Amino acid sequence: MKVAICGAGIAGLTLAQRLSALGAEVVLLERSPTPRSQDCMIDFFGPGYEAAEAIGVLPAIQEISYHVGTASLFDQDGRRQAPLPYERMVTALDGRLCRVTRTDLEKVLRDNLPRDVQLRFGTQVSQVSSGDDRVLVTLDDGEQLEADFLVGADGIHSIVRSLVFGAESQFLRYLGFHFAAFVCDAHDLTDASGQHYVLTDAVDRQVSLHALRDGRTAVLAVFRAADPEMPGDSRAVLRDVFGGIGWSVPDVLDRCPPAADIHFEPVAQVEMTCWHKDRVVLLGDACSAVSQLTGQGPSMAVAGAYVLADQLRRTSSVQRAFAFYERLWRPVIEAKQEAGRDTVDWLLPGSPSKLWIRRMALRLAWLPMVSRRINVRLVGEPPAVIAMLRNGSPADPADPRSA
Ligand SMILES: Cc1cc2nc3c(=O)[nH]c(=O)nc-3n(C[C@H](O)[C@H](O)[C@H](O)COP(=O)(O)OP(=O)(O)OC[C@H]3O[C@@H](n4cnc5c(N)ncnc54)[C@H](O)[C@@H]3O)c2cc1C
């Protein structure tokens, strides 16, 4: 069986390893000429953590993970306003959480690829023609690839989705925020607070700083914006929106890298009525982005790839496997997306009173009942799908209890 996967991100890399291990001939097509360097910190837990354990990459992920210790929110005058009960969240998950950078996670997955996976950087899909039993993929240099099926794992702005399912505007649900992730040299700023992970505490916008091992700092900046249209000059916008915050933020803005090194995009989810068509299936953010604010996109990408590969292993018909994958995985995604929308106001309070309520809740987080409520809001209940597939239970996707 020959498989073409478009996108060597977290979902594409995971799926390539799984399908190659099942004996498929895998071609992995990546638009970027080299591994992408734009970075951010993510919390890797939940279904993706379980899937990584099942695949055998968890020890390598644990090795690259960061210990957070104490984390805090600071106001614009540099006063510590509330603790972030990060360790309690880790404890609530029985320690099954790794804080990692996106690029380190991608590297672990890339290093885990079997040698016979063809990973082709600097290659884009420009046309797709799918029939009942084959798919013909045309690349940007005119080369044509024939495969048993094509997987669109090319992220939130998927080209495969546009070519096969229609315009992006039909599928993106804008959540009302813009999001910037970049890495800069700002270690002294976190050191000054005595913590590796610090966040601002302001209405409608937030900057978080996480010190990296190599002496740099991963910065996430999120702010409310009514218009999903992205402004031209990301650095100017960041200076405009965050300039007034004070504390260490002006220093961070001064050290902001050139626009090309800033990952700047609208915060959005992807909602589709169907994730597959003929011999094409979508995976990860391409069909089911849960939003950058949840921090769970990478976990969902690894777990989704695990579910899809598992269904292809169990089912001889490719199209039935696609349908089973979607029936099993869609309820988990929809629950995460709903929770993601519900927690937006908690993560970015929209008024001084909401900000005050969050401060109070975080200050009381040492109380087990408050801590539990915060954890349930942020982490959610773990779905059973991965554990069920790992145990080899005869997954019956028709049974809604499977999710
Ligand atoms: C810099 C950055 C910061 C982020 N920060 C956060 C965060 O803080 N919290 C969070 O939850 N999520 C964040 N995300 C999103 C998160 O990484 C994704 O949710 C997750 O990686 C989903 O994995 P994926 O494989 O579906 O998509 P991606 O990881 O986006 O991978 C898609 C891959 O497809 C490639 N590609 C795109 N188009 C084409 C094409 N036409 N042809 C070939 N290849 C193509 C891309 O180059 C990329 O390698 C961030 C993403 C980036 C890039």
Q: What is the DSSP track for 49-105? A: HHHHHHHT-HHHHHHT-B----EEEE-TTS-EEEEE-HHHHHHHTTT-EEEEEHHHH
pLDDT at 400: 41
pLDDT at 74: 86
pTM attached to this predicted model: 0.93
pLDDT confidence tier of residue 152, bands split at 50, 70 and 90: very high
The overall average pLDDT reported for the chain is 90
Residue 286 Cα to ligand 1 midpoint, Å, equals 9
Mutate which of 31, 61, 97 for ligand 1 pocket (most atoms within 8 A of beta carbon) = 31
Averaged pLDDT for residues 126-135: 93
282 within domain boundaries = yes
224 within domain boundaries = no
Q: Which of 124, 135, 175, 99 is nearest to 2 (CA)?
A: 135
Q: Which atom of ligand 1 is nearest to the CA of 298?
A: 20
Averaged pLDDT for residues 11-38: 96
Structure tokens, 313: 């292993």
Q: Which atom of ligand 1 is nearest to the CA of 296?
A: 11
Residue 98 Cα to ligand 1 midpoint, Å, equals 18
DSSP letters along 1-21, please? -EEEEE--SHHHHHHHHHHHH
Q: Which atom of ligand 1 is nearest to the CA of 8?
A: 49
pLDDT confidence tier of residue 403, bands split at 50, 70 and 90: very low
- Backbone phi, psi, residue 150, to 5°: -120, 135
pLDDT surpasses 70 at 402: no
Protein residues with CB under 6 Å of any ligand 1 atom: 6-12, 29-32, 36, 38-40, 42, 102, 124-125, 153-155, 159, 181, 220, 263, 284-286, 289, 292, 294-298, 301
Mutate which of 40, 124, 280 for ligand 1 pocket (most atoms within 8 A of beta carbon) = 40
Residue 222 Cα to ligand 1 midpoint, Å, equals 17
Mutate which of 13, 29, 41, 42 for ligand 1 pocket (most atoms within 8 A of beta carbon) = 42
Averaged pLDDT for residues 29-44: 92
382 within domain boundaries = yes
Q: Which of 98-107, 240-249, 386-395 has the lowest mean pLDDT?
A: 386-395
pLDDT at 399: 47
The structural domain count of the chain equals 1
Residue 107 Cα to ligand 1 midpoint, Å, equals 13
What is the CATH number for 13?
Answer: 3.50.50.60
Residue 244 Cα to ligand 1 midpoint, Å, equals 30
pLDDT surpasses 80 at 171: yes
| Percent of the chain topping pLDDT 70 | 94
As separate numbers, helices (DSSP H) first and strands (DSSP E) second, the chain gives 15, 18
pLDDT confidence tier of residue 381, bands split at 50, 70 and 90: low
Task: Bin 360: left if φ > 0, else alpha if -120 < ψ < 50, else beta.
Answer: alpha
Residue 313 Cα to ligand 1 midpoint, Å, equals 26
Structure tokens, 367: 């109380």
In whole angstroms, give the CA distance from residue 299 to residue 197.
21
Beta bridge partners of 120: 29
Averaged pLDDT for residues 239-246: 87
Residue 361 Cα to ligand 1 midpoint, Å, equals 33
Mutate which of 123, 154, 212 for ligand 1 pocket (most atoms within 8 A of beta carbon) = 154
Q: Which atom of ligand 1 is nearest to the CA of 12?
A: 25
In whole angstroms, give the CA distance from residue 37 to residue 313.
33
285 within domain boundaries = yes
Which amino acid residue places its CA nearest to atom 21 of ligand 1? 298
367 within domain boundaries = yes
12 within domain boundaries = yes
Residue 121 Cα to ligand 1 midpoint, Å, equals 15
Which amino acid residue places its CA nearest to atom 11 of ligand 1? 295
Reduced to 3 states (helix: H, G, I; strand: E, B; else coil), residue 366 is coil
274 within domain boundaries = yes
Containing domain of residue 73, as a range? 2-173+268-390
Which amino acid residue places its CA nearest to atom 27 of ligand 1? 155
Which amino acid residue places its CA nearest to atom 4 of ligand 1? 40
pLDDT at 394: 54
pLDDT confidence tier of residue 396, bands split at 50, 70 and 90: low
15 within domain boundaries = yes
pLDDT confidence tier of residue 310, bands split at 50, 70 and 90: very high
In whole angstroms, give the CA distance from residue 401 to residue 51.
19
